[in-house]
Structure 1
């Protein structure tokens, strides 16, 4: 019985040693490169972007948020931010690797890049807090 267990362990370790031959799959794959999304623009009375955005679960995306500095504006989307995995936020060349986000805010003109992986399918949004106009909101679908 001991010889049988030992043979099984040796056979198991042998197959683990060759597992690296297959490479990464899914979201870790080299084929899952970041896809650029339309820029989101924060400006007083300006629309955020051109229409809704559709994403695929498990895929890497990056979008830029640009503020023209015309007003102190924020962008919120707690449902969206809780259903993606944020890899990094880049502000003025500084990379931030947060555990999560709920909103971002611009006190002056500038650009922010957010790289993320879409995780949970559903209907979400990003919007300027307290706004009610359709142009101040972008609907996001993760499939």
Structure 2
């Protein structure tokens, strides 16, 4: 809110608008700086169990999404609107780093962990869900502000 008031005041007085940094000093790493990192988001893929809790993200901040499958069923997670609202840094599976342009879904055939690191970009409400499921606990809403 403070940043919006400052931006409005600068607009009224004809001064230049500048984006407020998320950290005092982003340094050489820029948006990937450690001071710009949010909490890790944990999701669990397990047959009949809740996927996770809804999360609020800040646009321009760096996050990790850790998806853990327990192997109880062959399950996937999809969310094309979410994956298009972020800049994907990498996906790490079994210590193999993948730097994709875009994805629609990730499927687990057996137990394992996938870690996605990204920067939230496009504000809005985005849903990650288990494909074909209808239960509320089988989806998570990620709101980017």
TM-score, length-scaled by structure 1: 0.78
Task: Report how many residues are paired.
Answer: 120
The structure with more helix, counted as a fraction of residues: 1
Largest Rg, 1 or 2: 1
CA RMSD of aligned residues (A): 1.8
Determine the C-alpha separation between the residues in 2 that align with 1:39 and 1:23. Answer: 28
Deviations 1:14-70 (A, max 9, x none): xxxxxxxx95596255532x3233310001001001x21000000000011000001
Q: Does residue 139 of structure 1 match 2:141?
A: yes
Match of 2:107 in 1: 105
Taking a change above 3 Å as real, the CA distance of residues 25 and 94 of structure 1, as seen in their structure-2 partners, is: closer
Determine the C-alpha separation between the residues in 2 that align with 1:84 and 1:55. Answer: 11
Determine the C-alpha separation between the residues in 1 that align with 2:69 and 2:108. Answer: 7
Q: Can you give the 5+ residue segments of structure 2 that lack an aligned partner in the other structure? A: 1-25
2:41–2:64 contact (8 Å) kept in structure 1:
no
Determine the C-alpha separation between the residues in 1 that align with 2:27 and 2:44. Answer: 39
Q: CA deviation at 1:85?
A: 0.6
Of residues 22-31 and 76-85 in structure 1, the stretch that sits farther from structure 2 once superposed is 22-31
